[in-house]
Amino acid sequence: GAVVSQHPSWVICKSGTSVKIECRSLDFQATTMFWYRQFPKQSLMLMATSNEGSKATYEQGVEKDKFLINHASLTLSTLTVTSAHPEDSSFYICSARGLGSYEQYFGPGTRLTVT
């Protein structure tokens, strides 16, 4: 149980285009989903927290208009990187937590490369 998937697993896009990443909880209802980015050899940095049906809460320094997060259902959250630039290239990881649970379960990550 507690499986989280991400799609795509990797994506290459051109500078200036937008990319959408999906995060799905496959066998449980995720009331809260988290989006992280991770640079090589570094830890995970929380970007935003989203609760189903509510607007996402962004961490300080994360641009809301650049990283659009939607959590429209209890099993799906999406992160859209708008007008991507090479510095947005990173490993993006989502996690999901069920109602009343301490634990969050991570997706396998999405490697974004912006050329």
Partner 1 sequence: TQLLEQSPQFLSIQEGENLTVYCNSSSVFSSLQWYRQEPGEGPVLLVTVVTGGEVKKLKRLTFQFGDARKDSSLHITAAQPGDTGLYLCAGEKTSYDKVIFGPGTSLSVIP
Binding footprint of partner 1 on the chain (CB under 8 A)? 4, 6, 32, 34, 36, 41-46, 49, 91, 93, 95, 97, 100, 102-109, 111
> Quick one: 87 or 102, whose CB is closer to partner 1?
102
* Nearest-approach distance from CB 81 to partner 1, in angstroms: 18
* Nearest-approach distance from CB 77 to partner 1, in angstroms: 14
Q: How far, in Å, CA of 18 to CA of 14, rounded?
A: 9
> Quick one: 4 or 84, whose CB is closer to partner 1?
4
The CA–CA distances, whole Å, from 103 to 63, 96, 100 equal 27, 8, 9
Q: Determine contact, residues 95/33, Cβ cutoff 8 Å.
A: yes
> Quick one: 6 or 78, whose CB is closer to partner 1?
6
* Nearest-approach distance from CB 41 to partner 1, in angstroms: 8
